[in-house]
């Protein structure tokens, strides 16, 4: 059975203290990786700017990604305003090979 995976790459910048943002991102990673539809969720801090982060996320399908966005931990992260969006690669939908 083929499914359509959701893969996304986002560049973020800390709003306020980068150390506090790093801690909040680590908590978001911990919760997100436990979601059943999450294949990959990684945050990378930029070596030349401690306020910048790259987020790589991969979910099994659009429904799993939508569920991730609806999760309390995801909503809380956005509502707190830890980061601002610097750049987003367009959402890509890829069919998995059988």
Which residues make beta-bridge pairs with 33? Answer: none
SS3 call for 6 = strand
Residue whose C-alpha is closest to residue 93's, from 2, 5, 31: 5
Radius of gyration in angstroms for the set of CA atoms belonging to the chain, rounded to a whole number: 14
Query: Which sequence spans correspond to the domains of the chain?
Result: 4-89
Measured between alpha carbons, how far is 25 from 22 in angstroms, rounded to an integer? 5
Global pTM reads: 0.87
pLDDT tens digits along 1-22: 566 788 889 999 999 999 999 9
| Range in 2-6, 43-47, 80-84 with the lowest mean pLDDT | 2-6
Q: How high is the pLDDT of residue 1?
A: 58
Calculate the CA 21 to chain-centre distance.
14
Which one has a higher pLDDT value, 71 or 7?
71
Q: How high is the pLDDT of residue 89?
A: 77
State in words which class domain 4-89 has.
Answer: alpha beta
């Amino acid at each position: 059975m083929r499914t359509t995976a959701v893969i996304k790459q986002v560049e973020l910048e800390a709003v306020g203290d980068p150390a506090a943002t790093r801690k909040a991102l680590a908590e978001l990673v911990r919760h997100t990786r436990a979601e059943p539809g999450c294949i990959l969720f990684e945050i990378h801090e930029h070596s030349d700017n401690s306020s910048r982060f790259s987020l790589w996320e991969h979910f099994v399908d659009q429904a799993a990604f939508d569920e991730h966005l609806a999760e309390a931990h995801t909503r809380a992260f956005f509502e707190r305003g830890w980061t601002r969006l610097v750049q987003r690669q367009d959402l890509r939908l890829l069919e998995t090979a059988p």
